[in-house]
Amino acid sequence: MHKFEEKTIKTKPLYKGKVISLQVDDVLLPDGKEAKREIIKHPGAVCVIALTEDKKIILVEQYRKALERPLVEVPAGKLEAGEVPELSAKRELEEETGYRPGRMTHVQSFYTSPGFADEIVHVFLAEDLVKVDDGLTVDDDEFVELMEVTIEEAEQLLKEERIYDAKTMWALQYVRLNDLV
Amino acid sequence: MHKFEEKTIKTKPLYKGKVISLQVDDVLLPDGKEAKREIIKHPGAVCVIALTEDKKIILVEQYRKALERPLVEVPAGKLEAGEVPELSAKRELEEETGYRPGRMTHVQSFYTSPGFADEIVHVFLAEDLVKVDDGLTVDDDEFVELMEVTIEEAEQLLKEERIYDAKTMWALQYVRLNDLV
């Protein structure tokens, strides 16, 4: 047991939605006092650093309702129930971009918002891409636009704040640090 | 207006908590169909890449109830209502670590979970640190442990998955890419 562990006294489920659920836990703190923790449960997600043969990075632009603005991001998607992350990453990449990877490597996983959510993102590197269709075979309620950019162009999108999310910024740093393009 | 914009038909507030709130929006999609979007509102947060004179990175370990485990992270905290991010970053750093920065530079901001939350994290670089007290003057319900590590030690913590969140991983890559230590 970790010395700072917070024991659950009571869990109150407040909402169960299509993607997320919300609960409030009463916890026992290390000093014996009590506190409340608001917690979002999320199924987890995958994202893909997909590099074309001519060293371009594949990105997708989509509208993000939570932010009331579009964002340019690495291809990503939620894990389906029971789905292995690597297969999920292959599926999302092919659905959103039409590319099927010859090689798919898990490079990192991270929690996105540990203060209030259990969402984890598994990052994959996709190489030796083969174009199998036009892509954009996405869910009914998804509208995405495909982009293929150089690392310099991606960094320009970041400066313009069109790229503005943690996973995509981490991915661009990863490409730079490992001289992938 | 962005071509993929999702117009709000109705917003249903479902929960208003101490830190987060939850709403479900009915939206009009670009193709005229309707969909539901589950959205978490968050006040935003700051985190600090704090480097000591001997080139160590200041980290804090704390228990994260949403994950039911402790994490080692860069010092961070939520924005108080109306607080300027830079002042919030200075306050959090001093409260958690006892260090006051001579120089504080905003280096990046990013959304953490654009699929369902509006949380934004503002990242600052703190240099010329002066130790003003022992630190750990944190909120009533916070228990944190201070660490000062080399970049190599931080990367080892990452391999051991004790560091496991996006903002801290982004921060470590930032330190590497900019040769800060």
Give residue-wise pLDDT tens across range B96-135: 999 999 999 999 999 999 999 999 999 999 999 999 987 6
pLDDT confidence of residue A140: 73
Contact state of A40 with B66 under an 8 Å Cβ cutoff: yes
Distance from CA of A129 to the nearest CA of B (A): 26
* Tens-level pLDDT at each residue, chain A (181 residues): 788 999 999 999 999 999 999 999 999 999 999 999 999 999 999 999 999 999 999 999 999 999 999 999 999 999 998 899 999 999 999 999 999 999 999 999 999 999 999 999 999 999 999 999 876 666 777 788 999 999 999 999 999 999 999 999 999 999 999 999 9
Instruction: Choose from A5, A60, A110 for mutation: most chain B CBs within 10 A.
Output: A110
Give yes or no for B165 touching A (CB within 8 A). Answer: yes
Give the one of A19, A36, A78 whose C-beta lies nearest to B18's C-beta: A36
Residue ranges of domains in chain B, CATH in brackets = 7-41 (no CATH), 45-177 (3.90.79.10)
Which DSSP string do the residues of A99-152 spell out, in sequence order?
EEEEEEEEEEEEES-TTTB--EEEEEEEEEEEE-S------TT--EEEEEE-HH
pLDDT confidence of residue B136: 65
**What tokens appear for B177 in the block?**
């890419």
pLDDT confidence of residue A137: 63
Give the chain A residue whose CA is nearest to the CA of B2: A70
